[in-house]
Structure 1
Amino acid sequence: MARLSFGKALVAGVALLCSAAPVAVQAKDAAPAPAPAPVLLISIDGLRPGDVLEAEKRGLKIPNLRRFVAEGAYATGVNGNLPTVTYPSHTTLITGVAPARHGIVSNTTFDPKQVNYGGWFWYAEDITAPTLWDVAKKAGRTTANVHWPVSVGVSTLDWNLPQIWRSGHADDRKLLKSLSSDGLYAALEHDCGAYADGIDEGITGDETRAKFAARLIETKQPQFLTVYLAALDHEEHLFGPGSAEANAVLERLDAAVGKMVAAERAAHPQAVIALVSDHGFVATDTEINLFRPFLDAGLITLGADGKVTSWDAMPWPSGGSIAVALARPDDTALMGKVSALLDKLAATPQARIAEVIGREEIARLGGNPQAAFYVDLQAGALAGTFAADAPLAKPARYKGMHGYFPAMPEMRSTFLIMGKGIDRGRNLGEIDMRAIAPTLAAIMGTTLPSAETQPLSLSR
């Protein structure tokens, strides 16, 4: 998980606001609609499609993930969000709409004076579009979650172990326990041992979460369950995509997926199991501190303690891209000043800027409506966090990153699905991330009318 010119087809796709396909009236000789099936939705953060589709070539031993390719349908790539980071992408996966519609526009909340202690979009009340949890519950399905992003306080979950952390202190466990469904945390710890800390992104933490998910399936048999695993993304940041360390973690995650699939098959033999990721990855070498030129231009003012006292324009980093918010969005003079600064930076090779877009293009791509500008960095560069004394460019703190504009091919994410009614070996080609949620809704016998694309065709 990242704590961190577009293709015409993609632009048109994000701009399209079409609702999910209505339930058709069956003709007399038409085949009956398939009966609703339970759904298990697993996310492996940062899983690149090639790691599964080219597993043998890349030397990866991932039989459980390869099983999806042989026994079900798969996308060669999933075109994602602006920006291609964890929380906006996972909310699109659960709503079928772009960030401008669902409200989760970045991983972290906008905090120009840094008073929220690095707060993330943890709370489901910030989601402004219906979710799969909502429509599944409305259709009479039982619902559950283990660690999915933006899941604190989901009222339509029967059983919820949400994702949240604050300090990494032991009190975080008390916080998570208090925000989980009544009695669930204690019951699963009784059966499975200690749960993982919310801030724990290591492979042992994910293996623990998978163990809890399998036990939740065994004891509660939810008809719709979401599970999120973070460790691959963590290793890709630290060591780079395709590194020996990342590959070793992926092979362990494959075993964890196998255990959850086995539990789901035992509980619901006719279940459909979908496996997704939120973004791809690129190797990185340089960190760009866009705050430096904004400070130098007088757009950000610091106090004697080095903290922000006032601001006119503020970068909002998102991995490989940076939103820029204005304190006075309708101030044309301020808009012009910031535009001129970004133009100057874009012409500076050291800044490693690939593209700068404005409000109209941001809106067409379904991106952050709070942003007056969005800066895409070149592959290999990543956005630095606020540091008053940092230079414009320095060696990167991470060896891998995502968050770039979604047109970058390396940002393609993964979609695999198998189970009842899914054709074996079906190649879906490249798909739109917003198509996944309405597809899963249809499998569960319901619809997601607010979705911006139609469900996928998974059988002939």
Structure 2
Amino acid sequence: MRLHRCFAAGLIGLASLASAHAVPVLLISIDGLRPADVLQAEQRGLHLPNLRRFLSEGSYATDVRGVLPTLTYPSHTTLLTGVSPDKHGIAGNLTFDPANKNQQGWAWYASDIHVPTLWDAAHAAGLSTANVHWPVSVGAQVDWNLPQIWRTGLPDDRKLLAALATPGLLPPLEKELGPYADGIDETLAGDENRTRFAVKLLEERRPAFMTAYLASLDHEQHASGPDTPEARRTLERIDALVGEMVGAARRVHPDGVVAVVSDHGFAPVQEDVNLYAPFIKAGLVTVKDGAVTDWQAMPWNDGGSAAIVLREPGNAAVAQKVQALLEQLRGDPAYGFERVLDHAQLTAQGGTAQASWFVLFKPGYEMGIKPDAPLPSASHYRGMHGYDPAWPQMRATFLIEGKGVPAGRNLGAIDMRDIAPTLAKSLGVTLPEAQGKPLFSP
């Protein structure tokens, strides 16, 4: 990773801080896993023996308050850094691209992270690292890296992933396990495939710190909604995949630590909000032949919320015009605004300073993706996140067990920024920039 000079020297010094009693850590993310799915599994009719085992053998949070916005990429970067998006720099899933020149490019690149990650801290301490499909991992300082990236879903994507993975890592794995899943594949079959590769990396490389990401629960909850039979079946299968990875981790590191996290919760959604149209009508965005040719202010889609970015933040006339437009839209129930945060309120909650306002939608509403869609429109998804992190429905999951972890301890409600420092403590490293604190001492 290209590190800022202000902390590069500090990272080098982390090697001397690593504890002689460092404990290997496996970090598994289940995108979209809600706390109650595990804590109330029996009441919900869910069979999750592997996830439920953490409740008795390890420690767990009743809920994790996430970041603004409650999206995958900002959240996963917080999980590795212990800081909010305004500090780590990953402000959304998609890069801000008002003219769509980047063709729906996501925030794939670890070079965009502005603070040290757990990967960096482990590397500086001389610990080996591995990764399977964690968001924002392209170019990360990881010894054995299968990063998350895709473009079109066509065969060239496989060449791209192979080129960006650790040189020489993928061919022997594929020779034994078959083709690695396409980056764009978020299905249960994709998770099953990547789990086989994660298990093999654990067994053969024995990394001291490994990250692994499972996408299919999020994918299914977007498609069919939370609490649907399809989502439940997906989660029960994911529980088995977690069991496979935990089993491999225990075989190679019997005294290691395993943590399971998620990035956000989920809520049902019914209405798409075309937030582009009023900006176009107000002359703040210029469109010709379906393409943006000029803009003064643009919404940045975050699902259950939207950042509003000014091209010239110091232009008082444009800012006043946008402020008046947002006030008008907030008064129209068709737009489903719950709240509009100004710049100071946004940054105070750890949101990106790149935006001047931040729109939070009401339950049931999401930002649409088509600038010519009518209002109202039926939602293109059945489930969504990205809403206010204060909502109970947006709370995430934290489970942890292993050496130094108290058994059967309820950690209560925690801040997502506390997770990375907690894992760093087990690894015997530190994260000097972290805003959170360790939840217990191993």
Does the alignment reach a TM-score above 0.5?
Answer: yes
Q: Corresponding residue for 1:289? A: 274
How far is the alpha carbon of 1:393 from its aligned partner? 2.5
Judge which range, 387-396 or 406-415, deviates more.
387-396
**Which amino acid in structure 1 is aligned with residue 375 of structure 2?**
L
Residue 350 (1) aligns with residue 350 (2): no
Q: Corresponding residue for 1:366? A: 350
SS at match of 1:76: strand
8 Å CA contact 2:261–2:399 kept in 1: the answer is: yes
SS at match of 1:75: strand
Following the alignment from structure 1 to structure 2, what is the Cα–Cα distance between the partners of residues 392 and 98? 34
How far is the alpha carbon of 1:424 from its aligned partner? 1.0
Taking the TM superposition and a 5 Å limit, the aligned residue runs for 1:367-382 are 367-382=351-366
CA RMSD, Structure 1 to Structure 2 (Å): 1.3
Following the alignment from structure 2 to structure 1, what is the Cα–Cα distance between the partners of residues 53 and 21? 24
Q: Deviations over 1:355-377 (max 9, x none)?
A: 00111011101101110000000
Following the alignment from structure 1 to structure 2, what is the Cα–Cα distance between the partners of residues 79 and 389? 35
Residue 78 (1) aligns with residue 61 (2): no
Residue 329 (1) aligns with residue 313 (2): yes
Following the alignment from structure 2 to structure 1, what is the Cα–Cα distance between the partners of residues 274 and 257? 45
Following the alignment from structure 1 to structure 2, what is the Cα–Cα distance between the partners of residues 388 and 103? 27
Q: Deviations over 1:194-218 (max 9, x none)?
A: 1100000000100110110000001
Following the alignment from structure 2 to structure 1, what is the Cα–Cα distance between the partners of residues 268 and 260? 24
Report the TM-score when normalising by structure 2: 0.95
Residue 253 (1) aligns with residue 238 (2): yes
8 Å CA contact 1:271–1:420 kept in 2: the answer is: yes
**Which amino acid in structure 1 is aligned with residue 322 of structure 2?**
V
1:239 aligns with one of 224, 229, 233? 224
Taking the TM superposition and a 5 Å limit, the aligned residue runs for 1:400-415 are 400-415=383-398
8 Å CA contact 2:275–2:371 kept in 1: the answer is: no
2:155 aligns with one of 170, 195, 211? 170
8 Å CA contact 1:286–1:381 kept in 2: the answer is: yes
Residue 420 (1) aligns with residue 433 (2): no
Q: Corresponding residue for 2:37? A: 51
Q: Deviations over 1:326-371 (max 9, x none)?
A: 1110111111110111111111111110000111011101101110
How far is the alpha carbon of 1:282 from its aligned partner? 0.3
Following the alignment from structure 1 to structure 2, what is the Cα–Cα distance between the partners of residues 256 and 428? 25
**Which amino acid in structure 1 is aligned with residue 96 of structure 2?**
F
Q: Deviations over 1:277-335 (max 9, x none)?
A: 000000010011100111111111111x1111101110001010000001110111111
How far is the alpha carbon of 1:391 from its aligned partner? 2.1
8 Å CA contact 1:293–1:392 kept in 2: the answer is: no
Residue 146 (1) aligns with residue 129 (2): no
Following the alignment from structure 2 to structure 1, what is the Cα–Cα distance between the partners of residues 102 and 376? 26
SS at match of 1:375: strand
8 Å CA contact 1:314–1:326 kept in 2: the answer is: yes
Following the alignment from structure 1 to structure 2, what is the Cα–Cα distance between the partners of residues 421 and 130? 24
Following the alignment from structure 1 to structure 2, what is the Cα–Cα distance between the partners of residues 419 and 286? 44
Residue 61 (1) aligns with residue 47 (2): yes
CA 365–192 in structure 1, closer or farther in 2 if over 3 Å, else same: same
**Which amino acid in structure 2 is aligned with residue 332 of structure 1?**
A
Q: Corresponding residue for 1:185? A: 170
How far is the alpha carbon of 1:392 from its aligned partner? 3.3
Detail structure 1 runs of 4+ shifted over 2 Å in the superposition: none
8 Å CA contact 2:274–2:371 kept in 1: the answer is: no
**Which amino acid in structure 2 is aligned with residue 347 of structure 1?**
G
Residue 201 (1) aligns with residue 181 (2): no
1:395 aligns with one of 368, 378, 388? 378
Show structure 1 runs of 5+ residues with no match: 1-22, 24-32
2:426 aligns with one of 412, 433, 443? 443
8 Å CA contact 1:292–1:392 kept in 2: the answer is: no
How far is the alpha carbon of 1:441 from its aligned partner? 0.6
Following the alignment from structure 1 to structure 2, what is the Cα–Cα distance between the partners of residues 425 and 458? 15
8 Å CA contact 1:318–1:383 kept in 2: the answer is: yes
Q: Corresponding residue for 2:74? A: 88
Following the alignment from structure 2 to structure 1, what is the Cα–Cα distance between the partners of residues 346 and 352? 7
Taking the TM superposition and a 5 Å limit, the aligned residue runs for 1:13-24 are none
1:135 aligns with one of 121, 125, 133? 121
Following the alignment from structure 2 to structure 1, what is the Cα–Cα distance between the partners of residues 282 and 202? 56
Q: Corresponding residue for 1:430? A: 413
Following the alignment from structure 1 to structure 2, what is the Cα–Cα distance between the partners of residues 393 and 84? 24
How far is the alpha carbon of 1:453 from its aligned partner? 1.7
Q: Deviations over 1:184-203 (max 9, x none)?
A: 11111122111100000000
How far is the alpha carbon of 1:421 from its aligned partner? 1.0
8 Å CA contact 2:425–2:441 kept in 1: the answer is: no
**Which amino acid in structure 1 is aligned with residue 146 of structure 2?**
L
Q: Corresponding residue for 1:269? A: 254
2:94 aligns with one of 95, 99, 108? 108
Q: Deviations over 1:397-440 (max 9, x none)?
A: 11100001211111000000000111111000010000100110
Aligned residues: 426
**Which amino acid in structure 2 is aligned with residue 438 of structure 1?**
P
SS at match of 2:98: coil
8 Å CA contact 1:73–1:458 kept in 2: the answer is: no
SS at match of 1:233: helix
**Which amino acid in structure 2 is aligned with residue 448 of structure 1?**
L
How far is the alpha carbon of 1:458 from its aligned partner? 5.9
Residue 157 (1) aligns with residue 142 (2): yes
Following the alignment from structure 2 to structure 1, what is the Cα–Cα distance between the partners of residues 439 and 322? 42
8 Å CA contact 1:426–1:458 kept in 2: the answer is: no
Following the alignment from structure 1 to structure 2, what is the Cα–Cα distance between the partners of residues 388 and 234? 24
**Which amino acid in structure 2 is aligned with residue 445 of structure 1?**
G
How far is the alpha carbon of 1:234 from its aligned partner? 0.3
**Which amino acid in structure 2 is aligned with residue 442 of structure 1?**
K
